[in-house]
Amino acid sequence: MTLLEVEDLHTHFISRDLDNKICIAKALNGVSFSLEAGRILGIVGETGAGKSLTAQSVVGLLRPPAKIVAGSIRFEGRELTDMPDAELNRIRGNEIAMVVQNPRTSLDPLTRVGEQLARLHQIHSGGPKMASHKRALEMMEAVGLPDPGTRAKSWPHELSGGMAQRVLLAMALMNSPKLLIADEPTTGLDVTVQAQILDLLRSLVARFDMATLIITHDLGVVAHFCDDIAVMFGGSIVETGPVRDVFAAPAHPYTRNLIAATPERFQMGGAKALGGQPPDLYNLPSGCVLQSRCAYATELCQTTVPNTEVAEGHFALCHYAGRLEEQPAVKINA
């Protein structure tokens, strides 16, 4: 059975403007993906594409005005979208764990590190305190924190960025989650530390057979640490598939531009064709969200876009997926 299955998820920001008229920002528009145990899925996209919102929707951490308006999220077959909070709380931090971007602000500054870890275990296990503390030390060791005994007694402010991120990872692992969601786990860390953390993450995924969702804007992380990639734009997953296939033969024009903008592929003089404004979420066009900045856009793109399978397991949300080459590219001014 698929561990996590997200189907046609729509999350909107519903608010009222100055005239008390209802404004709806369509932040997620029909996001679907699934994740099996032991797989690492990387979600990439630019600011405002809906990456973090997808993660927050899955773990039920949305706050008003954000609201799931349609779609389903199934974790081991259980529907999460209409689950009562008390039941959801038994799953969150237990079977589904999350590592967030900013390690320093995610730790309680007034509680010693070991205590924070043990507390999380206590809530879910309800067993003896000693066992929780022992587990905390084990996990700190598992994430490569030197001398866990003394580290457990340190305060969050005494940790460096890399160590704080390790502590958060240890915290996520406390209850042996089946699904780990990491939102920008290495952004803001140095490359050598990033390498340590990612290596660690991958070995932990293998050791505990976790399904992992990594949200990042760094294509390098996806290219070398993920099995599958999902590219988001304007609240939709525009392309998804095995990492190697997508990088070798991107089928969606947006993915092509994204990959072309990486330092490895970027050609000086070509930036104008790559950029453009993100779509206005309050006023999305009908059909393809990319049409205003896509060089291949035609009238056909104003109609509902099919999710085309271009190769096995490799999908692109584009009318011309798989046959972009036949389509004349019109230069447009961004």
Partner 1 sequence: MTQPVLKIRNLSKRFPVGGGRVVHAVNCVDLSIMPGETLGMVGESGSGKSTLGRVILRLLEPSDGSIEFDGQDITQLPKGQVRRLRRDMQMVFQDPWSALNPRMRIRDLIAEPIKLHVGLSRSERDDRTEDLARRVNLGPTYLNRYPANLSGGQLQRACIARAIATDPKLIVLDEPTSSLDLSVRAGILELLAEIREETKAAMLFISHDLGTVRMISDRIAVLYLGEVVEQGQTEALFENPAHPYTQALLSAHLPADPAIKVSRLVLEGEVPSPFALPTGCKFHTRCPVAIDRCTREVPQAIQVPSGQEALCLRIPDGGNIIQRKEDE
| CB of residue 157 to partner 1, shortest distance in Å | 14
| CB of residue 257 to partner 1, shortest distance in Å | 6
Q: Binding to partner 1 (CB under 8 A): which residues in 232-251?
A: 243-244, 247-248
Alpha carbons 176 and 134: distance in angstroms, whole number: 14
| CB of residue 86 to partner 1, shortest distance in Å | 39
| Extended beta strands in the chain, E state | 4-16, 22-35, 40-44, 66-75, 78-79, 96-99, 179-183, 211-215, 228-233, 236-242, 307-311, 314-317
Of the pair 60, 144, the CB lying nearest partner 1 is at: 144
Q: Binding to partner 1 (CB under 8 A): which residues in 155-174?
A: 160-163
Count CB neighbours of 76 within 10 A: 15
Q: Binding to partner 1 (CB under 8 A): which residues in 189-228?
A: 190-196, 199, 217-225
**For residue 30, what are its two tokens?**
């029909």
Four-point Cα dihedral 51, 56, 59, 61, nearest 10: 180
Helix 161-173 × helix 113-125 angle, to 10°: 10
Q: Binding to partner 1 (CB under 8 A): which residues in 279-308?
A: none
The secondary structure of 164-178 as a DSSP string is: HHHHHHHHHHTT--S
Q: Binding to partner 1 (CB under 8 A): which residues in 3-22?
A: none
Alpha carbons 215 and 195: distance in angstroms, whole number: 16
Q: Which residue type sits at 81?
A: T
Of the pair 138, 245, the CB lying nearest partner 1 is at: 245
Of the pair 194, 236, the CB lying nearest partner 1 is at: 194
Size of the site for partner 1 (CB under 8 A): 45
Q: Which stretch binds partner 1 (CB under 8 A): 89-97, 133-141, 176-184, 188-196?
A: 188-196
| Closest alpha carbon to 243 in 268, 272, 214 | 214
Of the pair 60, 188, the CB lying nearest partner 1 is at: 188
Interior/surface letters 306-329, b for 16+ CB within 10 angstroms, e for the rest: ebbebeeebbbbbbbbeebeebee
Q: Binding to partner 1 (CB under 8 A): which residues in 129-158?
A: none
Distance of CA 75 to the CA centre of its chain: 16
| CB of residue 315 to partner 1, shortest distance in Å | 18
| CB of residue 234 to partner 1, shortest distance in Å | 13
Q: Binding to partner 1 (CB under 8 A): which residues in 251-280?
A: 257-259, 261-266, 268-272, 274-277
Of the pair 74, 217, the CB lying nearest partner 1 is at: 217
Q: Which stretch binds partner 1 (CB under 8 A): 58-66, 86-94, 169-177, 184-192?
A: 184-192
| 309: β partners | 315
* 57 counts as binding partner 1 under rule CB under 8 A: no
Count CB neighbours of 209 within 10 A: 12
Q: Which stretch binds partner 1 (CB under 8 A): 3-11, 149-157, 186-194, 300-308?
A: 186-194
| Closest alpha carbon to 206 in 221, 220, 237, 227 | 227
- Give contact residues for partner 1 (rule: CB under 8 A): 46-47, 160-163, 190-196, 199, 217-225, 243-244, 247-248, 257-259, 261-266, 268-272, 274-277
